[in-house]
Amino acid sequence: MAELVFRDDAYARACRARVLAVTPAGIELDRTVFYPTGGGQPGDTGSLLRPDGSRVRIAGTVKGEGADAVLHLPAPGEALPVPGEEVEAVLDWERRHRHMRFHTALHLLCAVVPAPVTGGQVAEDKARLDFDIEMERLVKETIEAELNRLVAEGHRVRPRWITDAELDARPELVRTMSVQPPRGQGGVRVLEIEGVDLQPCGGTHVADTREVGPLAVVKIRSEGARNRRVVLGFA
Ligand SMILES: [Zn+2]
């Protein structure tokens, strides 16, 4: 179990940490800024700086077994740290920041398209959401204009925690049909875009919609009988 620094501070680019375990599954730290793959957002990359000045490149990050366990995946051939060692965990910040901008953009898209979400994925150069909606209700120009209006309006974006009971009382908060937020942990993390959107989310986000930057709807296409996929890029 690690202290998840990114959960309360998405802008932390580095942190001091102690190595807890090194196994074929990956490297566990007592605290980390590395977001593990989940909720449609890719795991972070970066490096661990060792006391002797050498660097362990981290090629990916995934969830481990148990709550708040994070596995840092070393790039092939890297010399590994040892348990007990103090390291500095440093993100590939440019890549992560693009994930943050796109993840917030997908929440805006969710607010713009009034339909159930059936899936979604963030990448460095694009992001997509799938909706259960008729094709003729998705108009590229309208969606793009609405998105860019919300971006330009500069809405504040912040994570906060609500209780399971609050979530149960507001089922409309759960916009994704396939993924139910985890319960029984005393609370659910929600992401609020003030005046625009509120939904359960464990991802990392920018603090203000202006930071997303101008967006383009790259394509809209059918993915099976009920799925319509909207793909976004940076304009
Ligand atoms: Zn999210």
Whether residues 116 and 226 share a domain: the answer is yes
Do the Cβ atoms of 132 and 227 come closer than 8 Å?
yes
Q: How far is the CA of 59 from the centre of ligand 1 (A)?
A: 23
Q: How far is the CA of 31 from the centre of ligand 1 (A)?
A: 22
* CATH number of 143's domain: 3.30.980.10
Supply the pLDDT for residue 180.
65
DSSP E strands, the chain: 3-4, 14-23, 26-29, 31-32, 46-49, 55-63, 70-74, 86-91, 117-122, 127-132, 157-162, 188-193, 197-200, 215-223, 227-234
Give tens-digit pLDDT for 40-97. 999 999 999 999 999 999 999 999 998 889 999 999 999 999 999 999 999 999 999 9
Supply the pLDDT for residue 235.
95
pTM of the model: 0.94
Q: How far is the CA of 190 from the centre of ligand 1 (A)?
A: 9
Q: How far is the CA of 103 from the centre of ligand 1 (A)?
A: 6
| Domain end point (choices 28, 62, 91) | 91
Q: How far is the CA of 203 from the centre of ligand 1 (A)?
A: 5
| Domain end point (choices 50, 73, 91) | 91
Q: How far is the CA of 4 from the centre of ligand 1 (A)?
A: 17
Q: How far is the CA of 23 from the centre of ligand 1 (A)?
A: 30
What's the domain range around 36? 3-91
Domain total in the chain: 2
Supply the pLDDT for residue 178.
53
Whether residues 112 and 192 share a domain: the answer is yes
Whether residues 9 and 26 share a domain: the answer is yes
Whether residues 201 and 101 share a domain: the answer is yes
Supply the pLDDT for residue 231.
98
Q: How far is the CA of 39 from the centre of ligand 1 (A)?
A: 6
Supply the pLDDT for residue 166.
84
| Domain end point (choices 69, 91, 113) | 91
Supply the pLDDT for residue 113.
95
Q: Which residues of the chain have pLDDT under 70?
A: 174-184
Supply the pLDDT for residue 70.
97
Supply the pLDDT for residue 29.
98
Residue 128: count other Cβ atoms within 10 Å of its Cβ. 22
Whether residues 104 and 212 share a domain: the answer is yes
Q: How far is the CA of 41 from the centre of ligand 1 (A)?
A: 8
Q: How far is the CA of 142 from the centre of ligand 1 (A)?
A: 22
Q: How far is the CA of 107 from the centre of ligand 1 (A)?
A: 6
Whether residues 100 and 202 share a domain: the answer is yes
Q: How far is the CA of 58 from the centre of ligand 1 (A)?
A: 24
